[in-house]
Amino acid sequence: MTKADVLLGLQWGDEGKGKVVDVKASKYQLVARFQGGPNAGHTISFEGKKFVLHTVPSGIFTEGCLNIVGNGVVLDPIGFMKELAGLRAAGFSPEKQLVISRRAHLILPTHRLLDAASEQAKGKEKIGSTLRGIGPAYMDRTGRNGLRMGDLLTADFDQRYGKLKAKHQRLLAAMDWGNPEEIPDEQAFLEAVEKLRQLKTDNTEYLIQEALNQGQNVLAEGAQGTLLDLEFGSYPFVTSSNTLASGACSGLGLAPSQLGNITGIFKAYCTRVGSGPFPTELFDAAGDFIREKGHEFGSTTGRPRRCGWLDLTALQYAVMINGVTELAMMKADVLCGMKEVKLCRAYRVDGKESRQMPFDLSTATPIYETMEGWDFDPSELLQGDLANPGKTEMPKGLQKYIERIEQCCGVPVRLVSIGPGRTETLMR
Ligand code: GDP
Ligand code: IMO
Ligand code: MG
């Protein structure tokens, strides 16, 4: 029996999870998303093409790889059918290698309205949600009111949908939200639901267990990132799901003892979209440089991402809380040309130096150390790697930076990404 590997983000999302799952997918017979929903935007680039996936797992471009949307995911029928249509238009047949858990919850059009109403009510304290209905859908799940994929196939689905919709409309009215009788996307929702019924659903926990029993390789794909986790992220500025390695257990039906390698992904710097504390955020030319060079604009909402230096204190916390066994560092190319780079080695909290994640991250100010920067030509570096795979000599500054991270986190950096493309990847 094999174990399931997990791949997840260690920062505030958008670390490059889509790219790394795609790079690794050829080694896996099964890739499964375990939480989140269309708030995610996972970008994959190969052969001059670029795709942004929201709910479909990132193993979908790999032949022979079965893709599972797990029970921990919240699925928006409208968005999901659009996503599949986009893939079909590009010449793929996603439904052939896709199975959706019957236990996955549905996002209704009224969940999206509730998301917007909740943000409006919060005013200046808004979370900066992607407005995809994620929070309200997970609230119905924990409140035991939600509708699940499996419910689509029951005779009384329409009544149950009507009942939940009516409840949402009462909530919207209490929140003074426009005209709650008007649900802009309802027709599209009902049409999408009809199409969704044709797709393959199953009790996917059995499919995953069978794959492991047969000795197949299984990869659990995370969405968002550790610092957006509901329990251990910068609450309340988080998402509504468990983004951690433990989320792969509850979100797929894996036992904790069935987890294998846990790959943690981080960028060579930090970004964040939406509100909430970000100790190493840059408001100067260095921040603008990173945003422009790294194209740091959201894949789902197009919003500019906030940019800052790498936060080693937060990274170490993320490694600890996930039990990360290996690291992947993304976007090393973006910092090329900087003379010096900074790392946050500790926080100052209440006047004292600390290497712990405080209860309230907004009370932390960063204490930096400065390191020599680096520069390289990605194509030259990749050519060197072809001649000598896994042994490429990194520029000195980059090499020292990686070693500092490994020393701090106690885990090796096995993958260094130097461009968005599938092949722009170095293994160590
Ligand atoms: P995800 O949500 O974790 O899958 O990440 P996103 O797709 O939202 O954001 C990562 C962005 O960085 C995408 O536009 C990727 O194409 C791009 N990207 C990934 N790795 C690299 C890299 O090493 N260098 C550069 N320059 N871009 C990268
Ligand atoms: P991927 O998988 C970056 C952020 C939002 C907001 C907060 C809550 O692409 O890394 P939500 O819509 O979940 O209620 O928003 O979380 N957020 C993300 N930021 N990448 C993501 O996903 C995100 N998903 C949610 O910006 O601050
Ligand atoms: Mg993303």
Q: Mean of the pLDDT values across residues 341-351? A: 98
Type and span of the H or E element at 349: strand 340-349
Burial class (CB in 10 A: 0-12, 13-18, 19+), 203: middle
Binned at pLDDT 50, 70 and 90, residue 384 comes out as confident
Q: How far is the CA of 388 from the centre of ligand 2 (A)?
A: 38
Using CA positions, which residue lies closest to atom 14 of ligand 2?
129
Residue 5 annotated in active site: no
Binned at pLDDT 50, 70 and 90, residue 290 comes out as very high
Name the pTM for this structure. 0.97
Q: Is there an atom of ligand 2 within 6 Å of 39 CB?
A: yes
Q: CB within 8 A of 199, min separation 6: which ones?
A: 95, 98, 100
Of 106, 107, 116, 245, residue with least CA distance to 176: 116
pLDDT(385) > 80: no
Tell me, yes or no, if the two domains 4-103+200-263 and 267-427 fold the same way.
no
Paired with 421 in beta bridges are: 45
Q: Is there an atom of ligand 1 within 6 Å of 17 CB?
A: yes
pLDDT(5) > 90: yes
Q: What is the pLDDT of residue 52?
A: 96
Burial class (CB in 10 A: 0-12, 13-18, 19+), 188: middle
Q: What is the pLDDT of residues 67-110, one digit of tens each?
A: 999 999 999 999 999 999 999 999 999 999 999 999 999 999 99
Q: How far is the CA of 174 from the centre of ligand 3 (A)?
A: 33
Query: Percentage helix, strand, coil, to 5, in the chain?
Result: 40, 20, 40
Q: What architecture (CATH level 2) is domain 267-427?
A: Alpha-Beta Complex (3.90)
Of 363, 303, 259, residue with least CA distance to 1: 259
Q: What is the pLDDT of residue 80?
A: 98
Of 394, 400, 412, residue with least CA distance to 370: 400
The rounded distance, in Å, linking the Cα atoms of 365 and 278 is: 9
Binned at pLDDT 50, 70 and 90, residue 388 comes out as confident
Binned at pLDDT 50, 70 and 90, residue 298 comes out as confident
∠ CA 186-187-193, rounded to 5°: 85
Of 225, 249, 400, 413, residue with least CA distance to 314: 225
Q: Mean of the pLDDT values across residues 181-206? A: 96
**Cis ω for the linkage preceding 77 (within 30 of 0):** no
Q: What is the pLDDT of residue 133?
A: 98
**What ligand is nearest to the CA atom of residue 225?**
2
- Percent of the chain scoring above 70 in pLDDT: 100
The rounded distance, in Å, linking the Cα atoms of 146 and 161 is: 9
Query: Got the DSSP string for 211-234?
Result: HHHTT--EEEEP-S-GGG-TTTSS
pLDDT(386) > 90: no
Residue 14 annotated in active site: yes
Q: What is the pLDDT of residues 14-64, one digit of tens each?
A: 999 999 999 999 999 999 999 999 999 999 999 999 999 999 999 999 999
Using CA positions, which residue lies closest to atom 25 of ligand 1?
419
Long-range contacts of the stretch 346-352 (C-beta < 8 A, 24+): 346/313, 347/279, 347/313
Q: How far is the CA of 371 from the centre of ligand 2 (A)?
A: 30
Q: What is the pLDDT of residue 178?
A: 87
pLDDT(208) > 80: yes
Q: What architecture (CATH level 2) is domain 4-103+200-263?
A: 3-Layer(aba) Sandwich (3.40)
Q: What is the pLDDT of residue 303?
A: 86
pLDDT(135) > 90: yes
The rounded distance, in Å, linking the Cα atoms of 337 and 331 is: 13
The rounded distance, in Å, linking the Cα atoms of 74 and 198 is: 18
Using CA positions, which residue lies closest to atom 9 of ligand 1?
14
Substitution site in 14, 39, 244 for ligand 2 pocket (most atoms within 8 Å of beta carbon): 39
Rg of the chain over Cα atoms, rounded to whole angstroms, equals: 22
Q: What is the pLDDT of residue 176?
A: 93
Q: Mean of the pLDDT values across residues 356-379? A: 96
Binned at pLDDT 50, 70 and 90, residue 238 comes out as very high
Domain positions in the chain are 4-103+200-263, 105-196, 267-427
Burial class (CB in 10 A: 0-12, 13-18, 19+), 415: buried
Binned at pLDDT 50, 70 and 90, residue 192 comes out as very high
Question: Which CATH number is correct for 105-196, 1.10.300.10, 3.30.420.10, 3.40.366.10, 3.40.50.720?
Answer: 1.10.300.10
Pairing of strands 352-354, 365-372: unpaired
Q: What is the pLDDT of residues 6-16, one digit of tens each?
A: 999 999 999 99
Substitution site in 15, 17, 19 for ligand 1 pocket (most atoms within 8 Å of beta carbon): 19
pLDDT(390) > 80: no
Query: Got the DSSP string for 133-202?
Result: SHHHHHHHHHTT---BGGGGGSTTHHHHHHHHHHHHHHHHHHTT-S-TT--TTHHHHHHHHHHHTTS-EE
Q: How far is the CA of 389 from the centre of ligand 3 (A)?
A: 29
Counting from 1 in the atom list of ligand 1, the atom nearest the Cα of 424 is: 23
Q: Mean of the pLDDT values across residues 226-249? A: 98
Q: What is the pLDDT of residue 397?
A: 97
Q: Is there an atom of ligand 2 within 6 Å of 243 CB?
A: no
